[in-house]
Amino acid sequence: MSYQYNIGCSLNNLKGVREFIRNSLKGQGVSELEMGAIVLALDEMCSNLMIHAHHCNPDHKISMNIHIPGHQQFVFEIIDDGSMFDINQYQEQELDSLVHEKRKGGLGIRLVKSIMDKVEYLREDGKNICRLTKTI
Amino acid sequence: MVHIKRLQEEGADIIVIIGEIDASSSIELDLAIAKSVGDGYRKILVDCNGLEYISSAGLGVFMSYIEELKDKKVYLVLFGLKERVLNTFSILGLADLLNIRETKSDAKKLADELSV
């Protein structure tokens, strides 16, 4: 089974992204806590992309695909044509130092890495594909 | 979309959050806490009974105040978090760095004890 959702890069559209994910995963045996974590990780990826690669320009579009290849196996793809930022190359700061520096940011990537099993980047037909996989 | 209101009860400022806090709405939480601190409250209770969702943008707001509140001897206690919301705080260990209680009366009690 697979689902697709196209989004303009406005942070006001994040709510719609979350609803799309919840609706797509409904009936797939995902607990409320797991659902919450998956929705959170994908929200973080989309908001990062909207802010950093697309400067919140609502005319820029990103797509999200959800594939369910097997029981409780999920593949999420976020596709865009902005500049690519590989979170695997990003070294997160320790929580203590973020607190000490009174930072508001720096938590999103850490959440994504904690929640998802794997995050990969591909380039196809001039587009960036960020593929996140999660097996429950 | 989030709706945030403030009310005062027995010397404490209560920030009531209703709705979802994400990258589009975290600024409203930030402003509410800033105003509460600016008004000189030493006990700030955050009512999360109506908080349906929080992303890292919202977590980051709470995180960014930890040091400032410590310096100013302001005690902020969150209460009424739904399990899935509390889980978001717990994934990164932020729940251990914040004061979190189940009920308003427990939150009030903790703020009273800390501010003595």
CA–CA separation, A14 vs A32, rounded Å?
19
Nearest residue to B98 (alpha-carbon basis) of A34, A94, A99, A41: A99
Q: Test B84 with A106 for CB contact under 8 angstroms.
A: no
Query: pLDDT tens for residues A39-89?
Result: 999 999 999 999 999 999 999 999 999 999 999 999 999 999 988 889 999
Sort out which chain A residues have CB atoms less than 8 A from B95's CB and list them: none
Q: What is the mean pLDDT of residues B11-31?
A: 97
Q: pLDDT band at residue A33, thresholds of 50, 70 and 90?
A: very high
Contacts of residue B39, Cβ cutoff 8 Å, sequence gap at least 6 = B13
Identify the CATH class of B2-115. Answer: alpha beta
Distance from CA of B19 to the nearest CA of A (A): 11
DSSP string, B38-79: HTT-SEEEEEEEEEEEE-HHHHHHHHHHHHHHHHHT-EEEEE
**What is the average pLDDT value for chain B, to the nearest integer?**
97
Task: Please tell me whether residue B12 adopts helix, strand or coil conformation.
Answer: strand
Q: Tell me what pLDDT residue B1 has.
A: 85
**What is the average pLDDT value for chain A, to the nearest integer?**
95
Q: Test A47 with B87 for CB contact under 8 angstroms.
A: no
Out of A33, A44, A51, the one facing B84 most closely (by C-beta) is A33
Question: What does the domain layout of chain B look like in residue ranges?
Answer: 2-115
For the cut 90, the answer to whether the pLDDT of residue B101 exceeds it is yes
For A70, phi then psi, to 5°, come to -155, 180
CA–CA separation, A11 vs A13, rounded Å?
5
Q: Tell me what pLDDT residue A97 has.
A: 94
Q: Tell me what pLDDT residue B27 has.
A: 97
